[in-house]
Structure 1
Amino acid sequence: MTTPAWDPAQYLRHAGHRARPFADLLARVPDLPGDPPRIADLGCGPGNVTALLAARWPTALITGYDNSPEMLDKAHVDHAGPTAGGGRLDFAPADARTWTPAEPHDLIISNATLQWVPGHADRFADWVAALAPGGTFAFQVPGNFSAPSHRLMRSLAHSARWKDRLADVLRHEDAVLAPEAYLDRLTGPGRTADVWETTYIHLLQGEDPVLDWVKGTGLRPVLTALADDPQAREDFLTEYRAALREAYPAGPHGTPFPFRRIFAVATREA
């Protein structure tokens, strides 16, 4: 899988739809034990949803972590600094494959990031062990790798024209686990877990809105791999655009885009 280069402006074009699962996840996180609470946001991106943590816990000391310099720059500019409730919002580089907190945390949360981390469930034990008593680990990941948007992308990348350049750059259906597997990995002595899934039907606006959506996320490895060949990049997008138009036809009020997500909240006993 190719490490993608990120474009904060493209990602934020659908910020409202993308933030909704985080808000739904946040609603299931219980009160935190610390005063002020210490919070880590793994894969904070441009920081727009990290800022929602400060709204929920105004005194919290919050650090958003990401491995994209572009995303971190945007987060710093738009959101870093003291918060209205007396807390603080900071951002720092880190890789979720290796990040381990240096001190106990009241909340470790991750929004649509762990699907990019092979073997991410193997990190759960370290993160849960780093929680303060009564602390919570919570995340959501896309569960739509079998959806047309991803199947068509992979099929095209493996086609005769593109396979030599793109066959190995994309994630597959095993990028995330089944909800039952997450529940099994998170449930154990001294902690409780809640796992669920939701399929959102986003009503997208504009021309080719599904393509516009995936250009901010799932398609980034392809765009990165073809960045040095603008004509090849445009040729791939032309083929993919046509397939998406057939798979996701526009309706009278916009283009419906079903998107399944998997959520998990694990809380350590106080």
Structure 2
Amino acid sequence: MSRQAEAVWDPAQYGVYGDERARPFTELVGRLGPIEPRRVVDLGCGSGELTATLAGRWPGAVVEALDSSPEMIAEARAREIPGRLTFEVADVTAWEPGRPVDLIVSNAVLQWVPEHLDLLPRWIGALAPGGRLAFQVPGNFAAQSHVQLRELCRSPRWRDRLAGTVRDDPVLDPAGYLDRLAGLGCAVDAWETTYMQVLTGDDPVLEWVKGSALRPVLSALPPDETGEFLTAYRDRLRAAYPARPYGTVFPFRRVFVIATRHAP
């Protein structure tokens, strides 16, 4: 996660619906195919569970991971493997490799970084010839979960405090990323998937967004106003995502990109 989000991250809340959150990462890494990278960097690693799977997938690789959230890195460090898997607190916007990297992974991070399109040339330049940049971002900013959140933040009751906390659409579509990265001399595989997630429990969509999109809002609100805001947002989500006998359907669009740097 990037400091641009200006949010305090809660590893336990983010871990709610962990299987659903892990699925896009698994799809992204699976699309890489039979490669054998020696040096892997995970930019925005969160609490490290998924990063640890990279070390397991490529036992001959050194995996370096960073995240700007001290709370997330504190959780991740229990998974370190000396000499093979390390975690540190750092901002992805300031990352500079000491030597070329075979694989850069960034999972559900770039939507938090307003200037992330400006980072892409630097990250491609950090790759060894034939190296790959693989990332995925949520593409659901037109979904009711986000529309209702933006409307509530910009309502008369909350706009003075919250109007600037939620951006409209911070990512490109697959064609947009393909064009940008092909222009940097890469072979690009870009696609999107909409997962029809069936969530269970009380107000499950609210519990989902508490771990992600709501973090900047919750960080901006004083404790005595948080309950009022969550109640109003919960009511909007209940209307937008009605519970069914089998659970609550929460469609979630994801955008995936793998860019391979051409060898000279």
What's the TM-score, normalizing by structure 1? 0.93
Which blocks of at least 5 consecutive residues in structure 1 are unaligned? none
**Contact 2:73/2:87 (<8 A) preserved:** yes
Cross-structure match for 2:49: 48
CA distances 1:56-81 after superposition (whole Å, capped 9, x unpaired): 2112100111000000000002x111
Cross-structure match for 1:91: 87
Aligned equivalents of 1:219, 1:208: Cα separation in 2: 14
Cross-structure match for 1:137: 133
> The residue matched to 2:49 in structure 1 has which SS?
coil
Q: Percent identity?
A: 55
Which blocks of at least 5 consecutive residues in structure 2 are unaligned? none
Amino acid in the other structure paired with 2:166? L
Root-mean-square deviation over aligned CA pairs: 1.4
Among 235, 246, 249, the residue aligned to 2:228: 235
Among 171, 174, 177, the residue aligned to 2:172: 177
CA deviation after TM superposition for structure 1 residue 171, in Å: 1.9
User: Would you say 1:203 and 2:215 are equivalent positions?
Assistant: no
Aligned equivalents of 2:39, 2:118: Cα separation in 1: 23
Among 146, 168, 174, the residue aligned to 2:142: 146
Cross-structure match for 2:40: 39
Aligned equivalents of 1:171, 1:188: Cα separation in 2: 26
User: Would you say 1:14 and 2:17 are equivalent positions?
Assistant: yes
Cross-structure match for 1:63: 64
CA deviation after TM superposition for structure 1 residue 100, in Å: 2.0
Cross-structure match for 1:262: 255
CA distances 1:219-245 after superposition (whole Å, capped 9, x unpaired): 00110001xx22211000000000000
CA deviation after TM superposition for structure 1 residue 33, in Å: 5.4
CA deviation after TM superposition for structure 1 residue 32, in Å: 3.7
Stretches of 4+ moved more than 6 A in 1?
none
Amino acid in the other structure paired with 2:87? F
**Contact 1:32/1:106 (<8 A) preserved:** no
Amino acid in the other structure paired with 1:150? H
CA deviation after TM superposition for structure 1 residue 2, in Å: 5.3
CA distances 1:230-267 after superposition (whole Å, capped 9, x unpaired): 22110000000000001011111111110000000011
